[in-house]
Amino acid sequence: MASSIDPTAKAFFDACETGQGWEACAEYCEADATFSAQAGALADVATLSAYVEWMKGLLQLMPDGGYELKSWGVDEGNNSVLGFAVFTGTHTGDGGPVPPTGKRVAADYVYVMDFNDEGKIRHMTKIWNDGHTLKQVGWA
């Protein structure tokens, strides 16, 4: 049902980007939805549930973290949705790869969400320059 993918994608995107975790995102996805990114920071993340939990952890390190949606596109023919946004946040939370740096990040990224015929996300690709982000925040 292609008509249902836009509101589903928007609800998932917001729940993921505000660190609500898999519990809040699961209803929008296949239970075994996959994830991919050509980014070293996410090299070991292969499921969408693991990625959503990774985002939840990131927002614990950057409690002021948030996103600004820049562009949104629905491709009903390919049953996919693309969301382009900028994530911003300041590393003030404990528990990260280094002690809090107090540095702020502004990272461009795109999510490509592929849907199954029942209107659930089956796979998501994140397009993101992790090296640039890690340098901004003082982790590399």
Q: What range does the domain containing 115 cover?
A: 2-137
Our measurement of the distance from residue 1's CA atom to the centroid of its chain's CA atoms, rounded to an integer in Å, reads 23
| Cα–Cα distance for residue pair 113/120, rounded to 1 Å | 9
Q: What are the structure tokens assigned to 80, written together? A: 């996919």
Residue 2 has pLDDT above 50, yes or no: no
Percent of the chain surpassing pLDDT 70: 98
pLDDT tens for 37-53 read 999 999 999 999 999 99
More confident position, 96 or 110: 110
pTM as predicted = 0.94
pLDDT tens for 53-74 read 999 999 999 999 999 999 999 9
Would you state the pLDDT for residue 3? 59
CATH code for position 115: 3.10.450.50
8-24 as b/e: b if 16+ CB within 10 A: bbbebbebbbebbbbeb
pLDDT tens for 63-102 read 999 999 999 999 999 999 999 999 999 999 998 888 999 9
| Cα–Cα distance for residue pair 111/48, rounded to 1 Å | 12
| DSSP track, the chain | -GGGHHHHHHHHHHHHHTT-HHHHHGGGEEEEEEEEES-GGGTT--BHHHHHHHHHHHHHHSTT-EEEEEEEEEETTTTEEEEEEEEEEE--SSSSSSS----EEEEEEEEEEEE-TTS-EEEEEEEE-HHHHHHHHT--
Name the domain count of the chain: 1
136 phi and psi, to 5 degrees?
-55, -45
